[in-house]
Amino acid sequence: MSEQRIAIFPLTQVVLFPRVQTPLHLFEPRYLQMAEHVLAGDRTVGMVTVPPEYAADMQGDPPVYPVGCAGRITRSRRQPDGRFHILLEGIHRFRIAREPARPEDQFYRVAEIVRLEDVYDSADAPRIGKLRAQVIEQVRTLVGRSRAGRGIEISPASFEALDDLAFVNSLCNALAFSSEEKQGLLELDPIRERFERLQALLSFRLAEISTPAGPDPGVIH
């Protein structure tokens, strides 16, 4: 596979998925520089997640998980004070091959990446169809039990415009999982396995909130 060089944006709590949009607010000088350079080029940024144990090292170059998601800036607005508001749309997953040294006047990190494909085997379609129905029912139950979700109607029709990849990635992004859980979902190549992991995480969350002292599910971020 050919490698591509890309600017990377490490965060602790954001995991981007293909075909999902994420708004971002840029204010650090290195990421303002990154935005200027990227907007003048192909508008592509690689979102990568910093493991929680390195969250205190964010001012430097902390380690990141090796699998991330490339996103394209579809909207950008620069504020009078120089900050940026951008909307990033996930394009494809990638694995970091290496981080080359950068020039002294370049503040943001870059990586050489290898594109990863989301594998959809047609033989998995019946299994995915069953999992999709189960996930919708689980989300409906969680939303119904959440204080914030009262009055929200969830049904298969709510998601019928989404194909299986967009469906599973949208829920992986939107549901209130930890960054480690979302990273684990992102790293799965076969779509069937991503559905299975999502269904298992939702089952655990339902079991957790069914205990007498269970927390409010806080379903959606």
CA distance 196 to 205: 14
Helices and strands (H, E) in the chain, number of each type = 5, 6
In the prediction, which pLDDT does 176 show?
87
Q: pLDDT value at position 151?
A: 47
Res 72: pLDDT: 98
For the chain, the first-to-last Cα distance in angstroms comes to 35
Q: Which residues, including other chains, have CB under 8 Å from residue 163's CB and lie 6 or more apart?
A: none
Among residues 185, 199, 219, the alpha carbon closest in space to that of 15 is found at 185
Residues 6+ apart with CB under 8 A from 208: 214, 215
Q: Check residue 158 and give its pLDDT.
A: 65
Contact 141, 199 (CB under 8 A): no
Average pLDDT per run of 10 along the chain, which is 221 residues long? Answer: 87 95 94 96 97 92 97 96 95 97 94 96 96 93 69 61 94 93 97 98 89 55 49
pLDDT given for residue 50 in this prediction: 97
pLDDT of the residue at 143: 84
